Chains A and B, each alone.
With several copies, the nearest count.
Chain A
Amino acid sequence: MSEKNDSNLNPTPNLDALEEGPWPSFVTGFKDWIRKTGNTMARGALDQLNYSYETKMGYWKGGVVGVHGYGAGVISRYSMIPEKFPEAAEFHTMRVQPAPGLHYSTKALREVLDVWEKHGSGLLSMHGQTGNLQLQGIAQGNVQQCFDELNALGWDLGGAGATVRTGASCVGPARCESACYDTLGVHHQVLSYFTDLVHRPQLPYKAKFKFSGCPNDCSNSIQRSDYAVIGTWRDDIQVDKEAMERFIQKKGVDYLVNNVITRCPTNALSLRGNEMVINNADCVRCMHCINVMPEALSPGKERGITLLVGGKGHLKVGNMLGSVMVPFMKMESQEDIDGLIDLVDRMIDWWSENGLDHERIGECIERVGMQQFLDAVGLEANVDMVAHPRDNPFFKASYDHDPLAGIGNAA
């Protein structure tokens, strides 16, 4: 709350209470910026926000703003009350795709900031929930020039509307010992492949990708993305026996029992003497024991991904979590990655043909039917896809199988 240069500010009595308290105040941040630069668009936005706080209503409306050749990437915002807040008449957002994992060098980031100071309001958000670097507040007249400069520096716009959206990935192998595949690299390749679909709306609705290196799902992929790529492993959990002993020594057997063994969702862990034994056949790769003892336990060596499809928000059927489509797929060689891209491409194709307007792929599969979907994209039904088989008799099967074939060969 610096005092100088308040002449650049209008009073914002309804917002000032948000300058109090220990958490960083965006109001103070905005005011400091306006005080220093006198940026009128930033001031207009703050003033309109102040008015929203008074009237408890929002005052932005959408429109059509873009850059040459793209159909998406700019969220246009016009004030509904420009007569009251002429400085906020336009306040568009440019969604810029950052690097996977949201890593920056200060050099590259400063370049963005400089361009943004020149053309925009100087306000931004790091980052949007989907994963974009959001440059917030620019007039239509500046958009193209701003974009061209950013693009020349190596930046590109993200998705909006009925496009493939900007992806998100956890920090993964860059820093995390649990990463079962290269989240950053695969994110980069998949999103690069779909660049055309990111820039040009030609899908029934949005399509999101998120990449998590392990089932801890630090990118919230299962809930927030149509295509959740989650790292996993197929062989046994790796055990560092000495580290395990040190852990038990230090924490005690009680701790081991109460915080690890009894918390395994499938009872795959048991105590033998003062040691913990893992029955890997019962392990469902939940990560819990590994989380508690990261030095002693790590994911197995045969690593890859599980692909879950159909996650999305509330609208209109209620929140959907993604569900398993491919239980395991290696993700090491270029071929593996191409295989994933291929498969997802087929899914997007099927959805493009079958999806209704504003229908996400999860809803589309639910409406049209999993069987049709699997057939179309060339996947076989797998028991890992379900929590349990169907509990109603209302299905139409082709009876071309011999249900008795496997009996006698049972495990």
Chain B
Amino acid sequence: MAQNTTTAPKRSYQTVESGPRAPEAFLHPVSRKNYGQWKYHERPRPGVLKHVAHSGDVLYTVRAGTHRQVTVDIVRHLCDLADQYADGHLRWTIRNNVEFMTPNWNNVEPLIRALEESGHPVGGTGNSVGAIAHTQGWLHCDIPATDASGVVKSMMDELYDEYVNERMPNRVRLSTSCCEINCGGQADLAVVVQHTRPPRINHAILSDVCEMPSTVARCPVAAIRPTTVNGKPSLMVVEEKCIFCGACFGACPAMEINHPEYSKMAIWVGGKNSNARSKPANMKLVCHGLPNNPPRWPEVTQVVRNILDAYKRGGRDWERLGEWIDRIGWKRFFKETGLPFDTYMIDNYRHARTSLNMSAHIRF
């Protein structure tokens, strides 16, 4: 993390610690006028929302997919479209989609065409598969075991039709994470890379790059111990204890957890954030040991597709992926997807007991 530079040289500009930008001026005028006075919405077609205000005003939103990792030119192009069709305003959603608003229905179709022409799919609304929560990966992060942008691109190519249509039982939110830290978060379906062995310790650099006590403290299972290697203070890992979590690598780059072969991809399902119907839920492990296979990770996409197909077949309207499984049971989930349940999917971490089947409730 960046540290404060303590001795500030002479400098003419005086920083204004302004915090976040104030939102008012950036809102579309119709949005500003009807702020907090919306009555309801409809979805005229995939990718388009129609919001109606108590005043009678109508505001259309067109949502489109982006690369998330963009360039000045790409954003300029989106600004052009906003100037032309959306009164000079635009916004991004929490999931890296871009949104244009206009009170003018006649702008909607031309805007959609312009977006599609420049390669931005219009969709992602309602019961579609939304854009994937995107993290950094090999492009920028210092601790990734895989890439993010490439995984997202590969999966979205495959799920494109589900993005531009609304054919799923309910919205599907996906996420990827390029290390177990899981910046992508909980999702209906998540792809997370998984370390498969303890860190190798780079004793050559450790004492130079490592604040040893805080590295020791970072380990959740107290597997790290001080030691001496070639006369220099270093650290060692008790391999039986280590759960390959990678936390130590975040504290000390000499705890090399990443490895091209000892990083596998895992699939998680059933995360949910909304409070609609069921309470929010953490996602659960349903597949692991898939190869970390750039540039297209075809095995991952195959499993993802397979799960989403089963959900699409079996889910009822409004049933989120995890709610579908809650109804049919995990046993049937594994049957429907053909995925193997194995011993590692039985929790053995802190609250393991609470995940066991403490009942005679069994589907046969």
A and B touch in the complex (CB under 8 A): yes
Size bracket, chain B contacts: 35 or more
Q: How far is the CA of A173 from the CA of B8 in the complex (A)?
A: 42
Shortest distance between the CB of B177 and any CB in chain A (Å): 9
Interchain CB contact under 8 A, A259 and B25: no
The winner among A196, A230, A294 for most chain B CB atoms within 10 A is A294
Chain B residues 8 to 24 lying within 8 A of chain A, measured CB to CB, are: 8, 11, 13, 15-23
Contact of B358 among A200, A232, A235, A387 (CB under 8 A): A387
Shortest distance between the CB of B56 and any CB in chain A (Å): 14
Shortest distance between the CB of B208 and any CB in chain A (Å): 12
Interchain CB contact under 8 A, B275 and A285: yes
Shortest distance between the CB of B10 and any CB in chain A (Å): 10
Q: How far is the CA of A219 from the CA of B296 in the complex (A)?
A: 29
Interchain CB contact under 8 A, B26 and A104: yes
Interface residues of chain B: helix, strand, loop or mixed (majority)? loop
A188-B22, A388-B330, A391-B282 known; A295 vs B40 contact (CB < 8 Å): yes
Interchain CB contact under 8 A, A406 and B338: yes
Contact of B196 among A264, A281, A397, A408 (CB under 8 A): A397
Output the nearest chain A residue to B192 by Cβ-Cβ distance: A393
Interchain CB contact under 8 A, B2 and A308: no
Output the nearest chain A residue to B86 by Cβ-Cβ distance: A106
Task: Please give, as numbers and ranges, the residues of chain B lying within 8 Å of A192 by CB-CB distance.
Answer: 19-20
- On chain A, the number of residues with a Cβ less than 8 Å from chain B's Cβ atoms is 198
Chain B residues 100 to 124 lying within 8 A of chain A, measured CB to CB, are: 101, 119-121
Interface residues of chain A: helix, strand, loop or mixed (majority)? loop
Q: Does A207 contact B (CB under 8 A)?
A: no
Task: Please give, as numbers and ranges, the residues of chain B lying within 8 Å of A61 by CB-CB distance.
Answer: 142, 253
Contact with B along A389-411 (1 / 0, CB 8 A): 11111111101011111111111
Contact of A404 among B286, B303, B334 (CB under 8 A): B303
Output the nearest chain B residue to A178 by Cβ-Cβ distance: B38
Interchain CB contact under 8 A, A106 and B82: yes
Q: Does A328 contact B (CB under 8 A)?
A: yes
Q: How far is the CA of A301 from the CA of B4 in the complex (A)?
A: 47
Shortest distance between the CB of B35 and any CB in chain A (Å): 5
Q: Does A124 contact B (CB under 8 A)?
A: yes
Q: How far is the CA of A176 from the CA of B13 in the complex (A)?
A: 40
A23-B65, A175-B51 known; A313 vs B182 contact (CB < 8 Å): yes
Query: Ordered nearest first, which 8 A-B pairs have the shortest CB separation?
Result: A21-B157, A161-B1, A56-B260, A71-B4, A410-B338, A406-B338, A381-B343, A323-B356
Question: What are 21 A-B contacts defined by CB distance under 8 Å?
Answer: A24-B120, A58-B145, A62-B142, A64-B2, A113-B72, A126-B98, A177-B51, A192-B19, A217-B280, A259-B317, A287-B274, A319-B282, A358-B217, A358-B251, A371-B344, A385-B357, A386-B345, A387-B358, A389-B341, A390-B355, A397-B289
Additional pairs, 7, CB under 8 Å, beyond known A33-B72, A265-B277 = A99-B26, A109-B75, A188-B20, A188-B22, A358-B214, A401-B342, A407-B303
